[in-house]
Amino acid sequence: MNYLSTLNYGYRILKSNNIISHKLDSELLLASALNKTREEVLTNLNSTLDKKKFYKFKKLLLRREQKEPIAYIFEKKDFWKESFFVNKNVLIPRPETEIIVEEVLKLTDDNSSKRFLDVGTGSGCVILSIIKERPNSFGTAIDICKKAIKIALFNAKMHHLENKIKFININIDKFTNNKYDLIISNPPYIDDIKYKRLEINVKQFEPKIALKAGTDGLKIIKKLIFKSKELLKKNGKLVFEIGEHQEVKIKKLLMKNKFYIDKVCKDIRNHPRVIIATKLF
């Protein structure tokens, strides 16, 4: 078989399984099976592959056919300016979460020396991206999931930032250490009903604990706001991601807890996505 007929085979299989990105995915999977780049595959469509390579491709194709996300198959995902190791124990970093990084960079100078706390660090993509951009700052990253903390530490080592960030496996409820200039978080915020309606590739493969947050989706956000009162310095900032229809309720919660709301940032679909608030007292 040559690359072209192999790709056509892959396109057909993925398309019949309703995978919208069937073309791109097949190309990426074949490139991976051949240990080549996608461009190398596409510019050598008449080249042939042996049975062993075809079998490797079929195995990868089967995982994608069963809706496993490409990021988990390749165990990596790009976020902000870097690539991060991911597997089924951590959420796949989302582009909209980059708004947190963008806003934190606007709030801090290049040489500023701030103390950050990342609540629910997952792969560590947010805190690692920020500390890489603000090399005089230090971070603490916590997560309730032990396996996630191991992955975040692995990513920190990969980016040579392990001496800048402390990783702790703890529930935000129990965390009492220190005072921070900024608290950042992409917490779980999907309510139970919406969770049931999520796409199969998310529901079946990504960790439930990273997404699901009770009947109103605010279970962890409530804890985050409450704990941030204690963990932030006076005038410290809380920057966190929210769900599409949560803005009004969360603003009320913040005001009730004596936070000033600086800004609500929208994502590319024009949905409120990140809130920035200041601890007043």
Ligand X SMILES: C[S@@+](CC[C@H](N)C(=O)[O-])C[C@H]1O[C@@H](n2cnc3c(N)ncnc32)[C@H](O)[C@@H]1O
What's phi and psi for 116, nearest 5 deg?
-110, 145
CB 244 within 8 A of CB 272: yes
**Binding flag, residue 28, ligand X (CB under 6 A):** no
Q: 144 or 153, CB closer to ligand X?
A: 144
CB 278 within 8 A of CB 107: no
Residue 20 in tokens: 């919208």
CB 231 within 8 A of CB 116: no
**Binding flag, residue 98, ligand X (CB under 6 A):** no
> Which of 125, 130, 242, 253 contacts ligand X by CB under 6 A?
125
Is the Cα dihedral 121, 124, 130, 136 positive or negative?
positive
CB 241 within 8 A of CB 220: no
Q: 15 or 146, CB closer to ligand X?
A: 146
**Binding flag, residue 142, ligand X (CB under 6 A):** yes
Q: 19 or 125, CB closer to ligand X?
A: 125
**Binding flag, residue 121, ligand X (CB under 6 A):** yes
Contacts of residue 174, Cβ cutoff 8 Å, sequence gap at least 6: none
- Give CA angle at 99 (234, 21), nearest 5°: 155
Least distance from C-beta 55 to ligand X, angstroms?
A: 34
Residues 173-192 that bind ligand X (CB under 6 A): 186-188
> Which of 10, 69, 120, 243 contacts ligand X by CB under 6 A?
120
**Binding flag, residue 91, ligand X (CB under 6 A):** yes
**Binding flag, residue 172, ligand X (CB under 6 A):** yes
CB 6 within 8 A of CB 51: no
Least distance from C-beta 164 to ligand X, angstroms?
A: 17
Question: Could you tell me which residues are beta bridge partners of residue 240?
Answer: 185, 275
Q: 57 or 72, CB closer to ligand X?
A: 72
- Give CA angle at 100 (98, 103), nearest 5°: 110
**Binding flag, residue 126, ligand X (CB under 6 A):** yes
CB 136 within 8 A of CB 113: yes
Nearest to 265 by CA among 110, 107, 140, 130: 107
**Binding flag, residue 209, ligand X (CB under 6 A):** yes
Residue 63 in tokens: 């995982």
Q: 145 or 231, CB closer to ligand X?
A: 145
- Give the binding range for ligand X (CB under 6 A) out of 44-52, 89-97, 107-115, 271-279: 89-97
Least distance from C-beta 250 to ligand X, angstroms?
A: 15
> Which of 143, 182, 191, 259 contacts ligand X by CB under 6 A?
143
Q: 93 or 236, CB closer to ligand X?
A: 93
- Which stretches of the chain bind ligand X, using CB under 6 A? 90-91, 93, 97, 119-123, 125-126, 142-145, 148, 171-172, 186-188, 209-210, 220
